[in-house]
Amino acid sequence: MEEKYTIGETAKIIGSTIKTVRYYDEIGLLKPTSYTEGGHRLYTNEDIWRLEMITNLRYLDFGIDEISKILSEEIPVDKALDWQIESLETQATTLMDMISILRQAKEHDGDSLQYLHNLVNARTINSEHKKQFIDKKVKESQLLIGIPKEWRDSFFHYFNKYIINQVKSSAKQTAAWRELQELINDPQFIKDLKNTEFLYMNIVHQPKYNATTLVRKLENIHDRLNKALKQKLPASSPVVQAIVDDTARLYANSEQLDNKEDYFHYFVKYIQRTKTKRLERCETLCAILSPQYYQLSKANQLLFQGIEWRLEHTENSERE
């Protein structure tokens, strides 16, 4: 019979605490294989190996949500490692920037605290400066050229809401904004971004609603996706699939709605076209800049998974 260990023995083997191992069970990250007749947790060698892997990933600053997706193979390991490398590189840049500020303040002859205050304020980017930078780049790149202002505003709604209008930035967020500026100044990034216009043009050229109504409907969809995420609903659930249908009605033109399968194929190709290295880095930086934007990205991932499930389910049904 396979050897099993109590929670105390398991915690000792992995060099952790009973409280931590119990917490991983309570949040569903790793549940024990079995229990004693009295209801006490029992862990196998495989459980312990997975707990050690969780401990290693936590040591490398992976979040609980990311670890869960790695263990469930929801995201490939190499992809998760790329994300973490990028995140840590941003943190490293931030730390060097902070060290530079502290050294300058220390070496300043006079009121070091006032000088420190001035240095930090000089490096902090306010909302107006962000807006001016983005407006200039949109004009230079001719992004959404010929589109009325209210529709351009709806295209950038979430970026403006969570990134541009952010009130206060930490040192890490300031470093992320600087890198984001460099990225936006890259002509290839602008070219990649223009590829994201096509889906949006379905709405602009065959509008069912005005721009204000569109934003309200988008907010409603993302509120529902966030609730689904909190409830840990799978992409195949009726709730997520209902959101998939409502999203299709929102974005698809009349011809595409006649054949939803064709539209979903189109949508998947669109998503694949937008998964360039630069656009994905932009998403990472925006997630660093704003926790709300990070939540928005998670909601969009669930929506995409729901569309992929619908396609696979439809194709399997047709084969049967």
How far apart (Å, rounded) are the C-alpha atoms in residues 50 and 4?
14
pLDDT at 255: 60
* Across 230-249, average pLDDT: 91
Provide the pLDDT confidence category of residue 188 given band limits of 50, 70 and 90. Answer: very high
**Is 318 a residue whose pLDDT tops 60?**
no
- What pLDDT does residue 258 have? 64
> Is the pLDDT higher at 94 or at 198?
94
Tens digit of each residue's pLDDT (9 = 90 or more) over 146-159? 788 888 888 889 99
**H or E, element range at 100:** helix 77-107
In this predicted structure, what is the pLDDT of residue 105?
86
Give the chain's mean pLDDT. 86
H or E, element range at 3: none
Mean pLDDT over residues 9-25, rounded? 94
Q: Residue 67: which of 29, 32, 31 has the closest Cα?
A: 29
User: What pTM does this model have?
Assistant: 0.71
pLDDT of residue 23: 94
Q: How far apart are CA 69 and CA 73, in angstroms?
A: 6
Rounded Cα–Cα distance for residues 275 and 185 (Å): 19
Report pLDDT for 272: 77
